[in-house]
Amino acid sequence: MKASYQKYSLNFKQPSGTSRGVLKTKETWFVFLELNGKQGIGECGLFRGLSIDDTPEYEDTLKWTCTNIHLGLETLLEKLIEFPSIQFGLETAFKSLENDNAFNIFTSKFTKGEDSIPINGLIWMGSETFMKTQIADKIENGFNCIKMKIGAIDFEREINLLKSIRKQFSSTDIELRVDANGAFCASEALEKLKVLSDLDLHSIEQPIKQGQINEMASLCEKTPLPIALDEELIGVFDVTKKQELLQTIKPQFIILKPSLVGGFTGSDEWIKFAESQNIGWWITSALESNVGLNAIAQYTYIKETKMPQGLGTGGLFTNNFESPLKVKNGTLQYRKNTNWKFNL
């Protein structure tokens, strides 16, 4: 077996605001496997500033991985425990190699075009006008679950935006999720959650910065609004520590980004521990290209969850790859008669 890698820069159609700043480009890496004339492709979705594997040794680690591909997937996953995005890319590439079509990772009714995945419509941070325009667009395009990033503009203005949605649409019409990306101070978080809870929201992601375990546990105990852990899961590698984290904080939900938590294997571990403690979960992409999004979507479908997932980021880039993936009526669909155009 031969292995190689290549870097690729995704360009945003328009700068996308998060609580960590405005994104204009997104770096990603692809790993390629060759065996007996077949090719496997995986995306290593490094997320600068967020991924635990955002280190100066990242490319050297990819190079080492390709040189030592003979060690096999299981051994490599163990050795790459601190590089979850490379784990995800490798798992995808090996699964891809098993199938006749390099982009068919998990065959299902989804990949056959017979079923779809409900997803949330993502509202990016920006001016009030920009956010209102996005909200109207998502509703017009059939989304009945909207996720709004908060924490960038004035809290009162964000509340007013959410109120304006609720005036038009009840919680039975539109499910509203908010993502604070750790923007609230621990001392003020509970009061803000009380204000948000009056708007009949589904949940809030990561209200305070990760690493404040006791404060987050206290919030999850007292909150009037379900809390979903997101960044809190990043960098927790040991299975015992995963279990302990959930037992200590006792969140209402966890959110899994395979590129950030160790691919399919890492996600499976989190799901097992969450379900054993009656904690809900859903899966989200992390600004991968359509290659990574495709793998995450196919994995998500076979987990048989009915909740709206966070899988709609493929349309953000000017230079994404043409694929069978299509967002329609608030769902992600796979058009089996559409071919991939993967050109680096």
Q: Find all residues with CB under 8 Å of 202, minimum gap 6, and list them.
A: 145, 171, 175, 176, 177, 226
Residue 257 appears among annotated catalytic residues: yes
Rounded Cα distance between 120 and 310, Å, is: 6
For the chain, counts of helices (H) and of strands (E): 11, 13
In this predicted structure, the answer to whether residue 19 has a pLDDT above a threshold of 60 is no
- β-sheet with 121-123: strand ranges across: 121-123, 145-149, 175-179, 203-205, 227-229, 253-256, 280-283
Residues 8, 71, 297, CA angle at the centre, nearest 5°? 45
Spans of all domains in the chain: 2-98, 117-334
Q: Which tokens belong to 93? A: 């590439």
User: Does the structure show a pLDDT above 60 at 156?
Assistant: yes
Over residues 163-193, the pLDDT tens digits come to: 988 888 889 889 999 999 898 999 999 999 9
| CA pair distance 94, 124, nearest whole angstrom | 34
User: What's 315's DSSP letter?
Assistant: G
Lowest mean pLDDT segment, chosen from 121-125, 233-237, 250-254, 282-286? 121-125
Question: Are 291 and 43 within 8 A, CB to CB?
Answer: yes
pLDDT, one tens digit per residue, over 278-313 is: 999 999 999 999 999 999 999 999 999 999 999 977
Within 13 Å of residue 90, how many CA atoms lie on the same side as its CB? 30
The single residue of 95, 147, 149, 192 carrying the catalytic annotation is 149
- Other Cβ atoms within 10 Å of 173 Cβ, number: 11
* Confidence at residue 241, expressed as pLDDT on a 0 to 100 scale: 97
Residue with tokens 């790993």: 31
Q: What is the dihedral of CA 82, 86, 91, 92, to 10 degrees?
A: 150
**Average pLDDT, rounded, for the chain:** 93
Catalytic residue among 26, 95, 209, 257: 257
As a whole number of angstroms, the distance between CA 121 and CA 103 comes to: 25
Q: Grade residue 17 by pLDDT with cuts at 50, 70 and 90.
A: low
Between helix 84-98 and helix 290-302 the angle, nearest 10°, is 80
Q: What percent of the chain clears pLDDT 90, i.e. is strictly above it?
A: 79
Q: Which CATH architecture best describes the domain 117-334?
A: Alpha-Beta Barrel (3.20)
Q: Reply yes or no on whether the pLDDT at 100 is more than 90.
A: no
Tell me whether residue 241 is one of the annotated catalytic residues. Answer: no
**Assigned CATH topology for domain 2-98:** Enolase-like; domain 1 (3.30.390)
- Residue 120: exposure state from Cβ atoms within 10 A (0-12, 13-18, ≥19): buried
pTM equals 0.94
What's the confidence (pLDDT) of residue 130? 84
Check whether 132 has a pLDDT greater than 90.
no
